[in-house]
Amino acid sequence: MMAAVPGSGSGDHSQTVANHYNKLEESGLEQRSRSRIFYLRNFNNWIKSVLIARTLEKLRVKDSQRTISVLDLCSGKGGDLLKWKKGKIDNLVCADIAATSVEQSEIRYNDNRQREGNRLYKAEFIVADCTKERLKDKYKNPDQSFDLVSCQFSFHYCFESYSQALMMLRNASECLRVGGYFIGTTPNSNELIRRLRKSTDNSFGNEVYNISFSQKDKTNFPLFGAMYNFHLEGVVDCPEFLVYFPVLERLASLFGLKLVKKWSFSEFFKQNLTHKESLSLLSAMQALEPFPSVGGTEPMSANKDDYKCAHEFLSSLSESHTQDSRRPLKIGTLSQAEWDAATIYLVFVFEKVGDMSPSFAAAPDSQSHTSASLSANRSSAGDGNKPGS
């Protein structure tokens, strides 16, 4: 049950989040490759890459000659700059609350610009809290419009309060042209609550990730400000907020955004295995761990049970493998711990179908836009089969 009761969020956590990301140190390729979550990070990166590439394809089907402008909300250190280059976009605006991250992103872009010259898209970088500040007032060109708005692994921060959710959606929609898309990845609140209710206390997770709730009640959660603490090994350790998707859909519709589709990461992964380019990218990005391990390297997890599904799948393949073949079978997988961490997320795509109502600029009280209580989807469906299972 998600109830429209006063939330615990008071709008005071934005600086905590900014400080956290400002303090994160840049890690080199060698350091990342030694990380316990090396393949998880690559898998999540693959999800983003495919989502961005497939959406850009849809835009070009509509108008193959159109120059494409993109707004990257909560853009961080510029982890998606290469994706925009590969997507052959023309203009990019990056906005993030963490000044250090924006500075590092701009340095990364300028380095690329020196190598690529005019072949690289033009970019603008803005330090701003996308949940509290109107970005349109900060663009170099106040008449700027976008074909695509992207918010990856950060949208949930805006659900700290009703006003922050409205501002984030306003920023996503205000300069997005009709027919353009708003895409993103965010934790699946239904999945988080399902796992919470299965736990013996107010936390759940494994060696890779941990989520803990401060509230004891596992039945009722506020629509906004439903805070939990998220820890991801060596990367994230800060407060986050549940995003109740029916509320997101309803608020988005007020800004002319209509849901096209949402997928769990498991669904999105399986759907794109049939797409040739996406499948090729899976290997190129090292998004799955080779199983069995190659070159005498140790598995990413020391727990053999983490590869139980992969082992069973490999055994089933071996039974149908021709006896005269001497080539050893190998598959790609994620350790169970990493798969459990990946499958707390979902992918969403909204399309701009109409302009925002000018009268909505002054946001009314949240209670007038949400029912007294909304029932959450209590489906106990699992996470689906992980790669190599």
Known binding site for S-adenosyl-L-methionine: residues?
Answer: 48, 74, 96, 129, 152, 157
Amino acid of residue 246? P
Q: Give dist(CA 64, CA 72) in Å, integer.
A: 22
Beta strands in 188-304 (DSSP E): 203-205, 209-213, 221-222, 227-232, 236-241, 257-264, 289-291
* Nearby residues of 317 by Cβ (< 8 Å), 6 or more positions away: 329, 331
Q: What string of DSSP letters covers 90-101?
A: SEEEEEES-HHH
CB 47 within 8 A of CB 185: yes
Burial class (CB in 10 A: 0-12, 13-18, 19+), 304: exposed
Radius of gyration of the chain (CA): 21
Residues at the binding site for mRNA are 44-45
Which residue matches tokens 């736990």? Answer: 199
Helix, strand, coil % in the chain, rounded to nearest 5: 40, 20, 40
Feature table: binding site: 44-45, 48, 74, 96, 129, 152, 157
**At residue 326, what are phi and psi to the nearest 5 degrees?**
-100, 0
Cα(99)–Cα(93) distance, integer angstroms: 15
Instruction: Determine how many CB atoms are found less than 10 A away from the CB of residue 295.
Output: 5
Task: Give residue 9's Cα distance to chain centre.
Answer: 22
Q: Are 66 and 85 spatial neighbours (Cβ–Cβ below 8 Å)?
A: no
How many of the other CB atoms lie within 10 Å of CB of 142? 9
CA angle 213–233–332, rounded 5-degree value: 115
